[in-house]
């Protein structure tokens, strides 16, 4: 007789309790995707440097009109709490101290990817679109370009623009954000 395994999807509340009780710690590099706790790839120095560069440029451009949140969780659904490399959030005086940013708080999500490129394209971008995040970027370290995803309709982004090295990516969601890819990838 075969044993049938029952899978249980964790909610964001279950996930928070695991952290509070010590089952998951700050050292665990995990995120909650569709009720599954998934390991995140380790960050290497090059990845960290690109994230830091992006943050520096973004902070200069948005000033006090938005919040730049590096590698912090956002709540997309009751079962999905990813940790994008950078989130550009609507400004709030409390800096989201009372609750995680939700999809309608997000202006732009950015993933920096080399070894995670397929995962970010096939797993994260669809979830961002399904949640209604208006814009997401993949800083593609393999091909040295930025993939700009916009116009989410029925759970998928309907526009993908590949911004090549030396060209400028401008956010339609937050037009003050305009970055020459050479400053980030060059």
pLDDT tens, residue by residue, 37-63: 999 988 899 999 999 999 999 999 998
Average pLDDT (111-119) is 95
pLDDT (0 to 100) of residue 70: 96
**Letter string b/e over residues 43-62, b meaning 16 or more CB atoms within 10 A of that residue's CB:** eeeebeebbebbbebbeebb
Average pLDDT (141-145) is 97
- Kindly report the pTM of this predicted structure: 0.94
Percent of the chain with pLDDT over 70: 99
User: In sequence order, what E strands does the chain have?
Assistant: 30-33, 36-39, 66-70, 86-90, 106-113, 135-140, 145-153, 156-164, 168-170, 178-180
Residue 174 CB partners (closer than 8 Å, separation 6+): 62, 65, 66, 88, 107, 108
Under the banding of pLDDT at 50, 70 and 90, the label for residue 164 is very high
Cβ-contact 100, 73 below 8 angstroms: yes
Judged against a pLDDT cut of 70, whether residue 137 lies above it is answered with yes
**Sign of the torsion angle spanned by Cα atoms 170, 33, 70, 145:** negative
Judged against a pLDDT cut of 90, whether residue 6 lies above it is answered with no
Under the banding of pLDDT at 50, 70 and 90, the label for residue 1 is low
Under the banding of pLDDT at 50, 70 and 90, the label for residue 3 is confident
Under the banding of pLDDT at 50, 70 and 90, the label for residue 172 is very high
**How many angstroms separate the first and last alpha carbons of the chain?**
59
Instruction: Break the chain into its structural domains and give their ranges.
Output: 42-185
What's the chain's average pLDDT? 95
Question: CA-CA-CA-CA torsion for 123, 164, 150, 10, nearest 10 degrees?
Answer: 20
CATH number for the domain formed by residue range(s) 42-185: 3.90.1570.10
């Amino acid at each position: 007789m075969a044993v049938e395994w029952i899978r249980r999807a964790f909610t964001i509340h279950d996930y928070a309790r695991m952290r509070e009780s010590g089952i998951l710690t700050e050292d665990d590099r995990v995120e909650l995707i569709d009720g599954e706790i998934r390991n995140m790839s380790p960050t290497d120095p090059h990845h960290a440097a690109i994230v830091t560069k992006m943050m520096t440029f973004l902070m200069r451009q948005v000033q006090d009109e938005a919040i730049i949140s590096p590698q912090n969780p956002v709540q997309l659904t009751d079962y999905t709490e990813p940790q994008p490399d950078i989130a550009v959030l609507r400004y709030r005086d409390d800096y989201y101290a009372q609750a995680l940013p939700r999809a309608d708080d997000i202006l732009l999500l950015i993933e920096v990817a080399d070894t995670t490129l397929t995962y970010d394209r096939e797993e994260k971008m669809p979830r961002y679109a399904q949640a209604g995040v208006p814009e997401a970027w993949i800083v593609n370290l393999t091909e040295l370009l930025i993939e700009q995803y916009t116009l989410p309709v029925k759970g998928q982004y309907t526009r993908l623009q590949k911004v090549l090295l030396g060209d400028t990516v401008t956010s339609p969601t937050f037009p003050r954000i305009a970055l020459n890819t050479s400053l980030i990838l060059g």
